[in-house]
Every structure is written in structure tokens, then in C-alpha cells.
């Protein structure tokens, strides 16, 4: 049973949130493992701590932010975004742009379809606008049809597809 998204507060990540962020990162990976039709994903015991540390490092070095969705002091979702300018190589083949990357978005399964993800994305998009980004990119597994529908509802469009062949 879900709760009203009216109670949800979106706030910036603090170092004291690290343990709960690790749990959310693990929950996202578990969800992706569950929907991975090719069974190529896994989560070893060190995954949560390691990947969270990598996210925090990336946020520090790539001028990013992490925002948390909180309901009555309980973290129920997060979004991670970073900002990047184009490389010299990229400028040779693409229109000059400043990129905002939505690295991760997760909402607790019990709160999906209650606008929590929309609130997190809105906060991240506001951050990207303040950073003068001209493009925002986000990725989702092809089999994650719920996420893809969600992003399309927010006016994101398909741009590229990565394909895989298991040999």
C-alpha cells in the first residue's frame, strides 16, 4: 500500500545518508536483476558499498548532485545526476552542448506511480538548468518498460539503443 506523494520531501543528499543510499542502490540493482531477461546482472555482497562510493566520487568530480525522496524521515527514493562539457573529440561530430546526465533514479516499489519519481526528476532538471545544461540524458534497460514509459511521459525521447549478443 502506497502513501500520498504530498508528504514526500525532496532534499539533497548528506553524508549521514550513506547507509540508506547503499540500501537503495542495492534495491535498484536487485530490481534490475529481477527484470534482466538475459540474466547478465548480479549483486555480490560488496556491490552496494562499492557502487555507492563510485557514485559519490563521480558526483564530486563531475559537478553532480544526489537528491533523496523522504517520507517522515524514511528515504524512499533517489536520483543521481552529473554535469559534463563535451570533449574536443565529441565537438568534432556533435552540436556543442552541456550535458546533464541522470545516472540513476530509484523509487521504492511501494511508492511507484505516486509522482515520487516525477518530483525527483523535476529537482534534478532544475539543478541542470541552474548549471546551464542544454541537454539531459537518461538511460533505461530495454526490458524496463515501466521506466521507459515514465521517461517518455516526462518528454524524453529514444536516442540510441545498445545491443548485445551472448556467445
pLDDT digits (tens, 9 = 90+) for 128-137: 999 999 999 9
Strands 135-138 and 9-12: unpaired
> How do residues 13-25 score in pLDDT, each as one tens digit?
999 999 999 999 9
Q: Show Cβ contacts of residue 1 under 8 Å, excluding neighbours closer than 6 positions.
A: 110
Q: CA-to-CA distance for 157 and 163, rounded, in angstroms?
A: 18
Q: Which pTM value belongs to this model?
A: 0.90
> How do residues 50-71 score in pLDDT, each as one tens digit?
999 999 999 999 999 999 999 9
Q: For the CA atoms of 63, 122, 162, 45, what is the dihedral angle to 10 degrees?
A: 70
Amino acid at each position: 500500500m502506497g502513501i500520498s506523494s504530498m508528504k514526500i520531501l525532496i532534499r539533497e543528499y548528506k553524508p549521514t545518508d550513506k547507509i540508506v543510499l547503499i540500501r537503495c542502490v542495492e534495491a535498484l540493482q536487485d530490481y534490475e536483476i529481477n527484470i534482466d531477461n538475459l540474466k547478465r546482472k548480479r549483486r555480490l555482497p560488496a556491490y552496494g558499498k562499492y557502487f555507492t562510493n563510485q557514485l559519490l566520487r563521480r558526483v564530486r568530480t563531475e559537478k553532480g548532485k544526489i537528491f533523496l525522496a523522504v517520507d517522515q524521515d524514511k528515504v524512499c527514493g533517489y536520483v543521481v545526476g552529473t554535469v559534463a562539457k563535451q570533449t574536443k573529440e565529441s565537438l568534432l561530430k556533435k552540436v556543442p552542448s552541456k550535458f546533464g546526465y541522470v545516472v540513476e533514479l530509484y523509487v521504492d516499489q511501494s511508492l511507484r506511480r505516486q509522482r515520487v519519481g516525477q518530483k525527483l526528476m523535476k529537482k534534478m532538471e532544475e539543478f541542470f538548468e541552474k548549471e546551464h545544461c542544454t541537454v539531459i540524458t537518461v538511460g533505461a534497460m530495454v526490458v524496463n518498460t515501466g521506466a521507459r514509459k515514465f521517461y517518455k511521459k516526462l518528454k524524453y525521447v529514444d536516442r540510441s539503443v545498445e545491443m548485445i549478443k551472448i556467445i
